[in-house]
Structure 1
Amino acid sequence: MKDKLNILWINDNPQTAHTMVFMYAINAKTQNWFDEVEIIIWGSTAKLVAEDESIQEKIKMTKHSGVVIKACISCANMFGVTNKLKSLDIEVDSMGIP
């Protein structure tokens, strides 16, 4: 069994999302570099996801490839985007003891 890859997505720059986060996650999953691939939306990235439609489309595509996408509930609450992230079918959950 291969390992699990967790990508902690902390940079709210859309270009970083398109040219690193999504590209690497999709390839890691579809090329079988890892058995499980998960992106964790963290910090101001939660706001980017909630507001940027091109990012939202890329999230759908990424999930379709088998990548799991989750978001930190504390971060989502901080930016007031919890319900929006949930509406995008993103699991919003606690990522540890605050």
Structure 2
Amino acid sequence: MENQETDKELYILWKSGDKETALSMVFMYTLNCKIKGWWEEVTLMVWGPSAKLLATDEELQGRVRQMMESGIHVTACISCAQMFGVVEDLRSLGIDVKPLGLPLSELLQANKKVLSV
């Protein structure tokens, strides 16, 4: 049986470079998870092509700011951000840009709730 802390944490791995996927699923669900209390702790992990999309799209940037203001932790993979040349763009949004390979592996090995989109 899982402990209660595990049951209250959700990690959303956003890896799609598609804006419609971001708006109609990733962002809508992520924000509602927090503001409606479906999950106590919510983390959005920006990975791969989503890093480039976020760095270049003002509408999505505004949505991410709204998420952060709602208490959602937003982090981005530094290797992906470096690949697309957007490290400073993401950091300027207040996103925690850091290595995520090991942390993601640890989440999965600990049977944490990870939703990949």
Report the TM range for the smaller structure's normalisation: over 0.9
Whole-Å Cα distance in 1 between the matches of residues 50 and 33 of structure 2? 21
TM-score with structure 1 setting the length: 0.93
Structure of greater Rg: 2
Residue 38 of structure 2 aligns to a residue in which SS?
Answer: coil
RMSD value, Cα: 1.1
Residue 91 of structure 2 corresponds to which residue in structure 1?
A: 86
Between the two proteins, what is the percent identity of the paired residues?
A: 44
Structure 1: runs of 5+ lacking an equivalent: none
Structure 2: runs of 5+ lacking an equivalent: 103-117
Whole-Å Cα distance in 2 between the matches of residues 62 and 80 of structure 1? 24
Superposed displacement of residue 3, structure 1: 1.9
Whole-Å Cα distance in 1 between the matches of residues 49 and 32 of structure 2? 25
Is 1:36–2:50 an aligned residue pair?
no
Q: 2:64 aligns with which of 56, 59, 64?
A: 59
Superposed displacement of residue 96, structure 1: 2.7
TM-score with structure 2 setting the length: 0.79
Superposed displacement of residue 32, structure 1: 1.0
Whole-Å Cα distance in 2 between the matches of residues 59 and 32 of structure 1? 18
Is 1:95–2:95 an aligned residue pair?
no
Superposed displacement of residue 7, structure 1: 0.4
The structure, 1 or 2, with the larger RCO (C-alpha pairs under 8 Å, 6+ apart) is 2
Is 1:46–2:46 an aligned residue pair?
no
The code of the aligned residue for 1:88 comes to: L
Superposed displacement of residue 27, structure 1: 0.8
Whole-Å Cα distance in 2 between the matches of residues 65 and 18 of structure 1? 17
Superposed displacement of residue 63, structure 1: 1.0
Q: Between Structure 1 and Structure 2, how many residues are aligned?
A: 97
Residue 74 of structure 2 aligns to a residue in which SS?
Answer: strand
The code of the aligned residue for 1:38 comes to: T
Whole-Å Cα distance in 2 between the matches of residues 13 and 28 of structure 1? 21
